[in-house]
Amino acid sequence: MKQFIVSPAPHFHSGDSVRKNMLLVIIALLPAYAVSVWQFGWGALITTAISVAACVLFEWLIAKYLLKQKSTIGDLSAVLTGLLLAFNLPSNLPWWIVIIGALVAIGVAKMSFGGLGQNIFNPALVGRVFLLISFPAQMTTWPVPQGFATSYVDAATGATPLAAMKVALTGSDSMMSAVPEMWDILIGKMGGSLGEVSALLLLAGGIFLIATRVITWHIPVSIMATVALFAAVTGWAGMLPESVCTGEYVMLSLCTGGMMLGAWFMATDYVTSPMSNCGKLIFGVGIGVIVMVIRTWGAYPEGMSFAILIMNACAPLLNLIRPKRFGEKKK
Amino acid sequence: MKSTFRIGGVHPHDNKQYSVHQPITECPLPTKAIIPLVQHIGAPAQAVVEKGQKVKVGELIAKAGGFVSANIHAPFSGTITKIDTTIDAWGMKMPAIFMDVEGDEWLETIDRSNDIVRKLDYEPKAIIDKVQEAGIVGLGGACFPTHVKLMPPPGKTAEVLIVNGVECEPYLTCDHQLMLEKGEEIIIGIQLLMRALNIQKAIIGIEANKPDAIQHMTALASKVLGIEVKALKLKYPQGGEKQLIDACIRRQVPSGALPIEVGAVVDNVATIYAVYEAVQKNKPLISRVMTVTGKSLAKPGNYDVRFGTPLTEVVALAGGVPEDTGKVIGGGPMMGRAMSNIDMPSNKRVSGLLFLPEAESMREEITNCVRCGKCVGACPMGLEPWLLSKQAWHSMWDEMEDHNIMDCIECGCCQFTCPSHLPLLDYVRMGKAKVGGLIRARQAANK
């Protein structure tokens, strides 16, 4: 008689998988990547290729020889980490520094904790911050974007809008000429790390991820709302020079630096963010506050990486917040 | 904007196309029948017949074993051969009455005509007594004795009867077809229950993927006072009684309580049809409509099957077990239970048979939890499946109780949605069994 397969319910599955979600995030990043290649040329291509290849290779090597486990590169999370790490680097970063970053991101921040799902901190950000602290000079000189004419080897570097804003907060608008027109900022015709320049296309990618139910709105919206509010208060409190209006400062705060990339692609990383909607909102507000505090009063012009890493550490605490139970009465 | 329940839910493909609109077909009588004495929640029924006795269709053959229990009646006429144990398709042993089927002789008191009886002026108690005598249990899958629901405990009053015409499980279409073919009888059944409960309001909840049923029942209900049809948004598990109450009257039953706590009594349409037959036709519960379905089945459809019929005969009517079958499920694919064989008899609990091809029968490989939180978003009871299953893994029973594990309705939304294919519900079920046992032991010790 034919044997039937017996296993417990449910017998249906949505078809969702880790690989599918990673692939959708990679797809969401492609429009912004196209802009970065258009802006930064060879540097964008080379740095990204090295970063992705190194991350995948290290994950495969560590799984096979150190942990002696099945390889996990098929779930595309290493590819995504490589991509996001590259997006956070200047496009003309020396190749050997990129590889060190990949080793720290995958080896230290991810695999040493037990692989996907076990890490506390966002691997790409850990890689980036490690490089920032270890190679401050190379990590804070950005090339002037000139398409495929952008220098990869010889540094012809320029100031970024964020640096200009930092100076503006001291009361001087001397660097404001380095700030491009609003439309250029939105599209990405400006200096910065290779993947963070096109605010508009990063936003589009983020909305694509919400439409495909990869992420929910709670983290990105709470980050951006907090940042906008903080920037507006900064303006109303009179901390900006005369020529910089509050509205412009709010838009700059949202569109420059790692804000869009961080809010939509880094802070929303599943593993390192809270799991309930309430927790996610608090997480986003925390990131917004910390990044603006660093940008306004801290030594660095950019604080997104640090803000996200600090809130990653708070995520387990935020996971103690329980979702609303069915039938629970409001107290 | 159609209403739906407020927390969680998922959207499986409804796969109703195989058996939808198939007219209800009667299954031919078998030669031998096995009638289990446990077809309901509660104490097993006690046999009141003996070997060699001749019975007619509708005769009482087993008496309820207490208040929360149900009578069982002969679905066939013939001779009782023995009273023995039987093992169902899930390995559970239970007492059963075995009989040889001879002819089709019914008790004279039963009205076998198809005429619709519209008499409504009964005493409420008379209706409830008839329901209890007829051995009616919830035919939505849980098989809770219906008369118990009709007698709210002191201090609790019923305000509204909610009729479950949702049929949220994919593949199943028997309730849909019953509403199309026996809509008027169901309306009369609703009126009888409203009278029994002394309430003036009833709401029939039907999911949006059954527009003809919504139209038909709305037209019938418009001729009668107090019955409203609510079209509900398509979302699983809309048919879960707590979710249905939330969707229909926007009240959420508190943790650990029953629907009567918010003034609601919920009954499935098939149960209500059985109430009509019991009160108006003197016919006890001896059969039900089952959906037999699957992609590769030759004749998927909705079959009216008398209890005790070996399921092999029902399946033969649907064209036989398909070649590529990997899994046979008793019920729907979200909460139904995979069967090891189809030799067992049909009974009040089995609302459908689903044949899944081998390619769809195996689970995917488990990978690390990526802490995406999708299980939290999917859970209709607002629980944290990732946490509960981890706690079950580590035997943290007190913590699980504190995190409301006993509220889990085992709908399967969490496991359905998990991108890492984690067996969340398996661990939660295990935890529930353990924690439930600990709670019962604690209550017994406190007495």
SS (H, E, C) A178-238: HCCCHHHHHHCCCCCCCCCCCHHHHHHHHHHHHHCCCCCCHHHHHHHHHHHHHHHHHHHCC
DSSP secondary-structure letter at B360?
A: G
Residue A114 lies in domain: 18-139
Greatest CA separation for chain B: 65
Helix (H) / strand (E) containing B391:
helix B385-393
Which pLDDT score is estimated for A151?
A: 63
DSSP secondary-structure letter at B34?
A: E
In a domain, B313, yes or no: yes
In a domain, A290, yes or no: yes
pTM value is 0.91
Last residue of a domain, one of A88, A105, A139: A139
Among B residues 353-392, those touching chain A with beta carbons less than 8 Å apart: 356, 358, 361-364, 367-374, 376-377, 380-384, 386
E-only strand ranges, chain A: 142-143, 157-158
Among A residues 113-172, those touching chain B with beta carbons less than 8 Å apart: 114-118
Interchain pair B321, A2: CB under 8 A: yes
Instruction: Measure CB to CB from residue B416 to each of A12, A273, A277 and give the nearest one.
Output: A12
Q: Are A164 and A299 within one domain?
A: yes
Query: Which residues from A are below 8 Å from B334, CB to CB?
Result: 9-12
CB B55 within 8 A of CB B77: yes
In a domain, B4, yes or no: no
Interchain pair A325, B329: CB under 8 A: no
β-pairing verdict for B201-207 and B160-165? parallel
Spatial distance between the Cα atoms of B337 and A135, rounded to a whole number of angstroms: 60
In a domain, B108, yes or no: no
Residue B40 lies in domain: 31-101
Q: Are B313 and B241 within one domain?
A: no
- Number of structural domains found in chain B: 4
Q: Are A54 and A189 within one domain?
A: no
Q: Are B129 and B269 within one domain?
A: yes
Chain B residue with minimal CA distance to A115? B368
β-pairing verdict for A142-143 and A157-158? antiparallel
In a domain, B9, yes or no: no
Cross-strand partners of B229: B204
Spatial distance between the Cα atoms of B239 and A129, rounded to a whole number of angstroms: 51
Distances (CA, A) of A277 to A215, A293, A324: 11, 25, 10
Average pLDDT over residues B183-189: 96
Which pLDDT score is estimated for A181?
A: 76
User: In CATH, what number is assigned to the domain containing residue B321?
Assistant: 3.10.20.600
Q: Are B220 and B308 within one domain?
A: no
Chain B residue with minimal CA distance to A17? B419
Q: Are A168 and A313 within one domain?
A: yes
Residues contacting residue A118 through CB under 8 Å, at least 6 positions apart: A271, B368
Q: Are A40 and A83 within one domain?
A: yes
Interchain pair A270, B371: CB under 8 A: yes
In a domain, B168, yes or no: yes
In a domain, A247, yes or no: yes
Q: Are A223 and A125 within one domain?
A: no
Query: Which residues from A are below 8 Å from B325, CB to CB?
Result: 2, 4
Q: What is the pLDDT along chain A (331 residues), one digit of tens a residue?
A: 578 999 998 999 999 999 999 999 999 999 999 989 988 888 899 999 999 999 999 999 999 999 998 899 999 999 999 999 999 999 889 999 999 999 999 999 999 999 999 999 999 999 999 999 999 998 988 888 777 776 666 555 666 777 777 777 777 767 777 677 777 777 777 777 888 878 889 999 999 999 999 999 999 999 999 999 999 998 888 887 777 788 888 888 898 888 999 999 999 999 999 998 999 999 999 999 999 999 888 877 778 999 999 999 999 999 999 999 998 876 5
Six-digit token pair at B77? 């006429």
Q: Are A124 and A38 within one domain?
A: yes
- Number of structural domains found in chain A: 2
Distances (CA, A) of A305 to A48, A115, A162, A288: 19, 21, 14, 11
In a domain, A294, yes or no: yes
Spatial distance between the Cα atoms of A142 and B44, rounded to a whole number of angstroms: 79
Q: Are A211 and A100 within one domain?
A: no
Instruction: Measure CB to CB from residue B340 to each of A4, A11, A13 and give the nearest one.
Output: A4
Among B residues 4-23, those touching chain A with beta carbons less than 8 Å apart: 7, 10, 12
Q: Are A166 and A219 within one domain?
A: yes
In a domain, B368, yes or no: no
Which pLDDT score is estimated for A156?
A: 58
In a domain, B367, yes or no: no
In a domain, A201, yes or no: yes
Query: Which residues from B are below 8 Å from A20, CB to CB?
Result: 419
In 3D space, the residue among B328, B327, B324, B319 whose CA is nearest the CA of residue B297 turns out to be B319
Six-digit token pair at B335? 């909460």
Distances (CA, A) of A161 to A175, A226, A257: 9, 20, 8
Which pLDDT score is estimated for A195?
A: 81
Q: Which of A4, A24, A69, A273 to probe by mutation at the B interface, max B CB count within 10 Å?
A: A4
Chain B residue with minimal CA distance to A324? B382
Q: Are B127 and B275 within one domain?
A: yes
Single-letter code of the amino acid located at A41: G
Residues contacting residue A15 through CB under 8 Å, at least 6 positions apart: none
Say yes or no: ipTM exceeds 0.90: no
In 3D space, the residue among A208, A222, A220 whose CA is nearest the CA of residue A268 turns out to be A220
CB-based burial of residue A254 (10 Å sphere; 0-12 exposed, 13-18 middle, 19+ buried)? Answer: buried
Chain B residue with minimal CA distance to A75? B367
Q: Are A166 and A301 within one domain?
A: yes
Instruction: Measure CB to CB from residue A6 to each of B338, B404, B415 and give the nearest one.
Output: B338
- Cβ count within 10 A of residue B52: 9
Residues contacting residue B295 through CB under 8 Å, at least 6 positions apart: B18, B355, B356, B357
Tell me, rounded to whole angstroms, the distance of Cα A17 from its chain centroid. Answer: 22
Query: Which residues from A are below 8 Å from B374, CB to CB?
Result: 16
Q: Are B413 and B433 within one domain?
A: yes
Q: Check if B426 contacts A (Cβ < 8 Å).
A: yes
